[in-house]
Amino acid sequence: MCGIAGYIGDRPLAEAREREALRLMHRRGPDHQEVERHASHGRHAVFLHSRLKIIDLDRRANQPFHCGEKSFIFNGELYNYLELASTLTAQGLTLRTRSDTEVFLLWLDRYGMEGLDQCEGMWAFGLFDERDGSLVLCRDRFGEKPLYYYKDDSGFYFGSEIKFIFALMGRKLPVNDDHIDRFLVNGYKALYKSGMQFFQGLEAVPAGAWLRLDRSGQLQECKRYWNPAYDQEREMTFDQAALSVREAMIDAMKIRLRSDVPLAFCMSGGVDSNTLISIAKRTFDYDVHGFTIVNSDERYAEIDLVEHAVAELGIRHTAIPVQTTDFIDNFRSLVRYHDAPVLTVTYYAQWLLERSIAEAGYKISISGTGADELFSGYYDHHGFYLHDIQNDAPLFETSLANWQTHIKPIVRNPYLQDPQRFVQNPAFRDHIFLDAQKFAEYLCNPWSEPFHENAYATSSLLRLRMLNELFHESVPVILHEDDLNAMYFSIENRSPFLDRKLFETALEIPIRHMIRNGSAKAVLRESMRGIVPDRILDSRRKVGFNAPLFSFLDRKDPATRRWLLSDSEIFNHVKRDRIEKFLDRDQLPNSESKFLFYFISVKMFLEEVA
């Protein structure tokens, strides 16, 4: 894991700007930094790399890495580098290092961008060819690693983080007010549908795509290298589905344990993290160390399940109590680092978790991102599932009864109280942008944007929703926050569920198997029988981290209240009297608590970053 940045333009880049960018890149790569400059045909190019050593700790693996006249800067990991290295050496190539970086570059040099089809990993890279001055920028299939870019008359700029681009430019871009209003009204699930950023003109290289620039910095080509067939469902029994997931899950985990530095696990009481932990421990005999944020709110506590898994698996474990003191100061630092509003209070807790992992000496954290979207893990999925199986009367009646018994008592979203809502109205999505119309009235200027859903070639409503969540709604947000929270402490975050083979395996599973006996992620649970402790597999609780905002924020404190209501750019967006009313109430419904959090996050962003 590293940080990358670069520039192509008519003039040399001021060295002071390069130094500032490297200073800002230090958290992403504290082990080695380097600048490489090129000048030819009246054009100038600069490439910066900041390295966090993960595989092959020797300086021979530092970047930029070279092959002939090609220069390569790379952020991420090529997990199947050993297999690709074997192919290359069998063809007569000699490797100078043990690094995945060298393998990646040699593979691309030999097979071109078509060779990405054989690569499994997470990456954002820049590949510069000095012969023609061209530059290729590329991101991994799921967008685990960020890569932004901006172009104006002064040149083309790119970087792993927005602040790197601003440092190279010597200025910031204007704030995108429309995107701020989108966040305030529709919430974080709307942000990655638009393609916009919180700064005007800034863009991101799309996940699963590469773009090519000529020597003048003009975009010549943008191409998706991954276009999976989404309608891959095939006939199989439930047990066959579980076996295929078990094999793919173990394979995904095997290559993500590859490292020359110690790694830790983000742990909860759920099936996702315990799948990863249990495979690492019981299949690969890895010395697992799990880290858990302990929720002080009993409604969301799951420490009993965590302690059970720790005892049965015989692993090391660290519990981290939620720290509510110094919230404002800590949160301000976090917003500054994100170059954007922090999108949910959950990611403040995740930041506390990554801090503890770093303090324990680890350089890698492993998390369960993507399991809900691959295997159907959210409460509204039960309604989409009922829509899909409505023509199978026996299964529908059994599933409806299971919903009444197991799901109805724990669902809080009022729109999800009717299990047949999506059977009767498959297009209904008001539960996703909950109370958006009300929040729009809190803004100073009218703003609205209807829910938009990307189309996929699938006849299943449930699969359509899971694909949208995976590529446009929840997972892009999680990956964005995970990357920055981990990199704040110079930690690489890995997400084994975001594996191409596992994704394709999940697409093949018949929808009727996705939920069973009222249990979500039924196939994943059964696939892990005998590996994950039974008590974890049989638990129906879906907790995650939840905490009322007022547990972090003492709104009764005069200084806190003064700051919240103090003059700020935020009040060009939000009516001040609405916030005053929020602060005067003892409790807020979940949706209003989220809005107040969005307000605080945007306020800090406008004051500290913009």
Tens digit of each residue's pLDDT (9 = 90 or more) over 403-443: 999 999 988 888 999 989 999 999 999 999 999 999 999 99
Q: Select from 550, 599, 486 the least CA-distant residue to 296.
A: 550
pLDDT value of position 544: 60
Contacts of 207 (CB under 8 A, 6+ apart): 139, 140, 141, 142, 143, 471, 476
Of the pLDDT bands very low, low, confident and very high (cuts 50, 70, 90), residue 201 is very high
Q: What value does the mean pLDDT take over residues 450-473?
A: 96
Q: What is the pLDDT of residues 204-232, one digit of tens each?
A: 999 999 999 998 888 899 999 999 999 99
pLDDT value of position 56: 98
Query: What are the beta bridge partners of residue 156?
Result: 8, 151
pLDDT value of position 115: 98
295, two tokens: 């929720």
Question: What mean pLDDT value characterizes the chain?
Answer: 95
347 DSSP assignment: H
Q: Which amino acid is residue 337, in one-letter code? A: Y
> What end-to-end distance do the CA atoms of the chain give, in Å?
27
Q: What is the pLDDT of residues 128-149, one digit of tens each?
A: 999 999 999 999 999 999 999 9
C-alpha distances in Å from residue 380, one per residue of 18, 32, 209, 459: 48, 46, 31, 18
Which residue's entry shows tokens 């890569």? 147
pLDDT value of position 545: 57
Judged against a pLDDT cut of 80, whether residue 296 lies above it is answered with: no
Q: What is the pLDDT of residues 55-81, one digit of tens each?
A: 999 999 999 999 999 999 999 999 999
A 10 A CB-CB count for 545 gives: 21
Determine the length of the chain: 610
Of the pLDDT bands very low, low, confident and very high (cuts 50, 70, 90), residue 90 is very high
Spatial distance between the Cα atoms of 547 and 348, rounded to a whole number of angstroms: 11
Backbone angles phi, psi at 474, to 5 degrees: -80, -45
Spatial distance between the Cα atoms of 336 and 33, rounded to a whole number of angstroms: 22
Q: What value does the mean pLDDT take over residues 588-602?
A: 92
Judged against a pLDDT cut of 90, whether residue 263 lies above it is answered with: yes
Write the burial class of residue 39 (CB in 10 Å: 0-12 exposed, 13-18 middle, 19+ buried). Answer: exposed
Return the CA Rg of the chain: 24
Judged against a pLDDT cut of 90, whether residue 7 lies above it is answered with: yes
pLDDT value of position 297: 64
Give, for 240, the enclosing helix (H) or strand (E): helix 238-256
Which residue's entry shows tokens 């394979």? 251
Q: What is the pLDDT of residues 318-365, one digit of tens each?
A: 999 988 888 999 999 999 999 999 999 889 999 999 999 999 999 999
pLDDT value of position 341: 98
Spatial distance between the Cα atoms of 144 and 400, rounded to a whole number of angstroms: 36
Judged against a pLDDT cut of 90, whether residue 185 lies above it is answered with: yes
C-alpha distances in Å from residue 55, one per residue of 25, 82, 209, 383: 19, 11, 25, 44
Of the pLDDT bands very low, low, confident and very high (cuts 50, 70, 90), residue 541 is confident
Backbone angles phi, psi at 608, to 5 degrees: -105, -25
Q: What is the pLDDT of residues 299-322, one digit of tens each?
A: 666 899 999 999 999 999 999 998
pLDDT value of position 570: 98
pLDDT value of position 546: 61
Q: Select from 500, 463, 467, 495 the least CA-distant residue to 481.
A: 495
Spatial distance between the Cα atoms of 135 and 43, rounded to a whole number of angstroms: 13
Provide the percentage of residues in the chain whose pLDDT is more than 90. 87
With beta carbons less than 8 A apart as the criterion, state whether 82 and 90 touch.
Answer: no
Of the pLDDT bands very low, low, confident and very high (cuts 50, 70, 90), residue 244 is very high
- Which domains are assigned to the chain? 2-176+198-224 (3.60.20.10), 238-374+464-537 (3.40.50.620)
With beta carbons less than 8 A apart as the criterion, state whether 198 and 179 touch.
Answer: yes
